[in-house]
Chains A and B, each alone.
Chain A
Amino acid sequence: MKNRKYNYGTAILAAFEYLLENYKEVFVIGQGLWSPWYVGNTMTNLEKKFGIERIMDTPVSESASTGIAVGASISGMKPIVVHPRMDFMLYAMDSIVNQAANWSHMFGGQTNPNLTIRCILNRGGEQGAQHSQALHAWFAHVPGLRVVMPSTVVDARDLLIASVLCKDPVMFIDDRWLYDQEDYLPPVKEINLLDQKPKISIKGCDITIVASGHSSLLAREAAQILKNKNISAEVVDIRVLNPLDASLIINSVKKTKNLLVVDCGWTSGGFSAEIITKVVEQLSVKCLNSSPVRIALPNSPAPTSRKLEENYYTKTEDLVKAVKKILKI
């Protein structure tokens, strides 16, 4: 890798290039792969470099495309399915949940769908209900699916590589709202997805803020603002939602005695509930200085109208306010 700055989008592109160059079993299948309109700068010119047989833009068939990738993944290939919007992927739920997630278990561990489903969260811009949904909690509910949500430039590249090299089906969920993040990338060093766990992004001692994907970016921004007000927030980036190793989160809350969970999905039955449950199952109420708090989306579809949309999504300022309220400052 040249010593230049990458953004989140080009880091994903770097992962694709690394995988396609080094693993002949890797191919990519999905709609809009030859068009920057669908996949931003994450796949630029891949079809020219690696050929349209390996970068397979498809008919309008989310269901078959995903099933085809599952079939290829149990036939010696390492396919990556790309769904430029998670909402359209719902046509493929049978292949993801009934087939890929259950495949190993149904056949006694004799076969593993070595498949990565990259789906993109693409919200805002007055797109409304069917172009906005963050459904990671659904997938994290399903045994047999690994669910990955990178929030940093480095993770965008390295967790994608790790997902594709992992033998299990992986939902790799990236977020268009993160694509402008910039960072330097060290040379690729392959990591084992099975070793990847939540990480502390910012150390602190007054409160633990737990988040994933774009919410982790909000948490990091909030922590900087709070720092200027002499509040020390510890930010934990979940990274791998399923299977979830919560030990680091529990230890952090043990230390800070306060917990705020931020999630980009809906509130009810959401992933924030899983984090809070994991913590309160392990820590007695006496260990906590305050009740755990979650910030997630209102229980409604995304509105299209500008004014409504503005209030719908979580902003950094919401986190700052919540922390001050929890700490009674």
Chain B
Amino acid sequence: MKNDLKDLSNPKKFHNPISVKNEASNILKKILNDMLVIRKTEQKLAWGKKNKFIGGPVHLGVGQEAIAVGISHNLRKTDRVFGAHRSHSHLLALNPNFYKLFAEVLGKKTGFSKGMGGSMHLYDKINGFYGSVPIVAGTVPLAVGASIAAKLQNKNDIGVAYIGDGAVEEGVVHESFNFAKIQKAPMLFIIENNLFASHMHISERQPSDSISRFAIANKIPYKLIDGNNVVAVKKISKNLINDLRNGKGPALIEVVTYRWYGHVDWREDIDVGVQRSLEDVVNWKKRDPISRLSKAMIKANIWTTKEEKNLSDKIDKKIKSAWQKAMSDPYPSSDATLKYVFSKKL
């Protein structure tokens, strides 16, 4: 495999605090808060799965929080965002309602999908989250369709698809790149390249580790960046999204990152039965998007360790009570299985 990502895929690089120069402190604080909420929510899910409160699979994205938080900073509620199996962060970055996520994962009727979806089928259209499903690449053409609809409706909204490095091995993704370009669709493709598809490293699956080469092939403008630098993700996606809203056609952003847990559920070192390098995991944790921001803010004298501790405690408390509430919520009524197959008669 050709190492086109160079240092971006080297776990020993990018450990230093990120640059927060010229960034407003209130925005940085919000971003830090959003990332922490997502991380702690997913850690609670890992705990819930390990302790058998959760039945279904949970695909956790701990370590990847900067991507969705940085992108969503530039989105509007009327944009059309689609995810896949690992999409808790994509949803929570638009609406940090972890109570509704807990309820959904526990199969309760108060959840985002009324308890009909679980972790892998999430929906919150009112905040721009049009849906996530576990079929890899399944929502990519749907997102393009939503963006073409926005164009036909003369709205300035955009379509957004979160795609993993594994998903680009599906043919429909390439049809979607081509189609979006031909139609000049206002469509942002976000490639979360975490180097693994389930248990397989990208070197076992592709001749190059950089997905951006498919943007080049389809004449789609792209950026390739460190996905664990929230400020960079925010800044760079802002420019791309502005171009999208101005009718310049699709864009792609490849963000290199790493997930701390295995493909599914709570284990760190085991990926669907295949041993992952623990040394890599340890090094990647040093490229933590949250501590790199927090350290930068402390260095810039806009944040303190005490404030961080207070924030952390506050979120923990809220998460604990949301979990308890979700646990005691009711399941969907027994007629739900048949009720939602078709639309109701008007």
Interface residues in chain A, defined as those with a beta carbon under 8 Å from any beta carbon in chain B = 27, 53-54, 56, 58-59, 61, 63-77, 79, 94-95, 98-99, 103-112, 143-144, 146, 166-168, 192, 194, 243
Contacts and interface: CB of A to CB of B under 8 A. Distances in A.
Contacts of B342: 104, 144, 146, 168, 243
Contacts of A72: 145-146, 148-149, 152
Given A104-B341, A110-B123, A59 B131 contact: no
B159 interface: yes
Given A111-B131, A112-B343, A94 B336 contact: no
Contacts of A70: 141-142, 145
Given A71-B143, A106-B121, A168-B342, 14 more contacts: A58-B179, A63-B141, A64-B144, A64-B175, A67-B140, A68-B176, A70-B141, A70-B145, A71-B149, A75-B150, A98-B138, A107-B123, A110-B123, A144-B342
B115 interface: yes
Given A71-B141, A71-B144, A75-B150, A167 B343 contact: yes
Interface of B: 80, 82, 109, 113-117, 121, 123, 125, 130-131, 133, 135, 138-150, 152-153, 159, 171-172, 175-176, 178-179, 182-183, 332, 336, 339-346
Contacts of B150: 75
Given A71-B145, A74-B131, A94-B172, A106 B113 contact: yes
Contact of B135 (A61, A74, A79, A94): A94
Task: Point out which of A59, A95, A110, A144 has the most chain B C-beta atoms below 10 A from its C-beta.
Answer: A110
B113 A69 contact: no
Nearest to A58: B179
Contacts of B336: 108
B141 A64 contact: yes
Given A77-B152, A106-B117, A66 B343 contact: no
Query: Which of B114, B179, B183 has the most chain A CB atoms inside 10 A of its CB?
Result: B179
Given A64-B172, A72-B145, A144 B117 contact: no
Contacts of B179: 58-59, 61, 64-65, 68
Contacts of B171: 63
12 contacts: A68-B148, A69-B145, A70-B142, A72-B146, A75-B80, A75-B146, A94-B135, A98-B133, A104-B341, A108-B115, A108-B116, A109-B340
A108 B145 contact: no
A256 to B, nearest CB: 31
Given A61-B175, A104-B343, A168-B342, A99 B142 contact: yes
B141 A104 contact: no
A192 B138 CA distance: 30
B149 A76 contact: yes
A53 B159 CA distance: 18
Nearest to A112: B343
A155 B164 CA distance: 45
B141 A68 contact: yes
B149 A75 contact: yes
Task: Count chain B CB atoms within 10 A of each CB in A63, A68, A143 and give the residue with the most.
Answer: A68
Given A75-B149, A99-B139, A111-B131, A106 B116 contact: yes
A67 to B, nearest CB: 3
A67 B145 contact: yes
Contact of A107 (B117, B175, B178, B182): B117
